[in-house]
Amino acid sequence: MSNQSAESRRHRVVVIGSGFGGLFGTQALEKADVEITMIARTTHHLFQPLLYQVATGILSVGDIAPATRLVLRKQKNTQVLLGDVQKIDLEAKTVTSQFLERITVTPYDSLIVAAGAGQSYFGNDHFSEFAPGMKTVDDALELRGRILGAFEQAELSDDPEERARLLTFVVVGAGPTGVELAGQIAELSHRTLSGAFRNIDPRDARVILLDGANDVLPVYGGKLSRKAAEQLEKLGTDIQLGAMVVDVDVDGLVVKDKDGTERRIESQCKVWSAGVQASPLGKQIANQSEAEVDRAGRLMVNPDLSVPGHPDVFVIGDMMSLDNLPGLAQVAMQGGKYAAKQIKAGLQGQKPEDRPPFRYFDKGSMATISRFSAVAKVGKLEISGFVGWVAWLVVHLMYLVGFRSRLSTILSWTVTFLGRGRAQMASTEQWVFARNAMEQLERHERERETSASEPQRKAAG
């Protein structure tokens, strides 16, 4: 490590995460006299809102996940490091990350933590084996393989019961992701795959959208929730509300209805989009500071997004809890830009106690249901149907990173929405089975290590 004095070297900013918060924070520091190290466990910047289109064959991975290193190529004050952050040491002011066997320790003067959130199974993590979530590129590709694989298996089956199970798709969680996914699986089976099989009719596929709440898209409520439900039903989606999932296995799931009765749904392809849990790095920071985490693991930050007692550490985006702000891309982007601004002001001599509080500017939210149909809420304005869909198209194109991604996305959307084709219908067995196989390997490895250390412990005891 260099022994340059703090006065003679540039201010070191470490950014954890290359998602919306991390990337926008880093880009906002482009002209600052700082030295930035961005550390992320993935090599790309992922546009999560369009993951469901990768899962259902509309877009390619490259369209929504450009390489971060290339996005930041011209930003000379920034270095991008691949690594899974294992430890943040608030006292030593270091971040320890790991890639394969290599451990890297990076010191910081200011830290922006934007590690996002993962899927939550509300304490039932074993559900994930059979009902994967959709948070990463790997998740979306696995899901594409599961959806298309179910149709392929149904084509090979002579057993009507088995076929029905294979052609039943269950999406758990009727928030924006669940609604968009259910709508697209319905369109895939009714339009894209229609006529492509000889033994089955893909239009027989049943898409069930389940939620424990009483509304589809409960964050919108009222008219928009009703409109979304109507449009989904028009597509043939079976909406089941007030239904809690109590068990999931390879062949289906068990649901408890409001009156307490339990019933089983036979389904091979289940998707979980019901809850989120913030990165465990939040808890790690809380354990070293006066900060607390909420039930979703989000760190309760100061009004200036800093960690209580640590004005040099900002926690932003899906990882932070402040004023009930939702887990939305805009919250993360604006948080990243705000943190960058405070770092720059600090270099000009602004004291942390003089920072203005973070103010979120709500630009609205939207969800698409099918081609030509979406719901959007901007302030008091509620839009649905075709106008909502056009607004959705424009906003998503605006925020996709890179000209090439925008161009190829427009092309793919034209093919899919005006015609009935989808360009990304490839899938492989590995996409479907790799996650579980890797998890199994890790489990075996852990068990092996535990049993190897057991005799030593006994001998020592």
Ligand X SMILES: Cc1cc2nc3c(=O)[nH]c(=O)nc-3n(C[C@H](O)[C@H](O)[C@H](O)COP(=O)(O)OP(=O)(O)OC[C@H]3O[C@@H](n4cnc5c(N)ncnc54)[C@H](O)[C@@H]3O)c2cc1C
E strand or H helix at 81, and its extent? strand 78-82
State in angstroms the smallest separation of the CB of 452 from ligand X. 27
Quick one: 165 exposed, middle or buried, by C-beta within 10 A (0-12, 13-18, 19+)? Answer: buried
Q: State which of residues 54, 59, 71, 135 lies at the interface with ligand X (CB under 6 A).
A: 135
300 DSSP β-pair partners: 321
Residue 49 binds ligand X (CB under 6 A): yes
State in angstroms the smallest separation of the CB of 117 from ligand X. 6
Q: State which of residues 57, 66, 149, 176 lies at the interface with ligand X (CB under 6 A).
A: 176
Residue 279 binds ligand X (CB under 6 A): yes
Nearer to ligand X, 130 or 392 (CB): 392
Residue 192 binds ligand X (CB under 6 A): no
Residue 104 binds ligand X (CB under 6 A): no
Residue 148 CA to residue 304 CA, distance in Å, equals: 46
Closest residue to ligand X, Cβ-based?
19
Q: How many residues bind ligand X (CB under 6 A)?
A: 33
Nearer to ligand X, 54 or 154 (CB): 54
Backbone angles phi, psi at 39, to 5 degrees: -115, 125
Q: Which of residues 9-28 bind ligand X (CB under 6 A)?
A: 16-22
Nearer to ligand X, 154 or 319 (CB): 319
Residue 318 binds ligand X (CB under 6 A): yes
Nearer to ligand X, 114 or 232 (CB): 114
State in angstroms the smallest separation of the CB of 367 from ligand X. 6
State in angstroms the smallest separation of the CB of 375 from ligand X. 11
What is the sign of the dihedral through the CA atoms of 44, 50, 54 and 55? positive
Residue 288 CA to residue 285 CA, distance in Å, equals: 5
Residue 322 binds ligand X (CB under 6 A): no
- Are 410 and 404 spatial neighbours (Cβ–Cβ below 8 Å)? no
Per-residue DSSP letter, 58 = S
Q: Which of residues 328-387 bind ligand X (CB under 6 A)?
A: 328-330, 332
Residue 174 CA to residue 149 CA, distance in Å, equals: 24
Q: State which of residues 15, 29, 38, 51 lies at the interface with ligand X (CB under 6 A).
A: 51
State in angstroms the smallest separation of the CB of 96 from ligand X. 10
Catalytic residues: 180
- Are 283 and 83 spatial neighbours (Cβ–Cβ below 8 Å)? no
357-360: list long-range contacts, CB under 8 Å, 24+ apart: 357/303, 357/304, 358/303, 358/304, 358/305, 358/322, 358/334, 360/323, 360/325, 360/330, 360/331, 360/334
Q: Which of 174, 172, 168 is nearest to 228 (CA)?
A: 174
Residue 418 CA to residue 371 CA, distance in Å, equals: 9
Residue 286 binds ligand X (CB under 6 A): no
Residue 274 binds ligand X (CB under 6 A): no
Give the helix ranges, DSSP H, for 348-402. 385-399
Residue 232 binds ligand X (CB under 6 A): no
Residue 327 binds ligand X (CB under 6 A): yes
Residue 317 binds ligand X (CB under 6 A): yes
* Binding interface with ligand X (CB under 6 A): 16-22, 39-42, 48-49, 51, 84-85, 114-116, 134-135, 176-177, 279, 281, 317-319, 327-330, 332
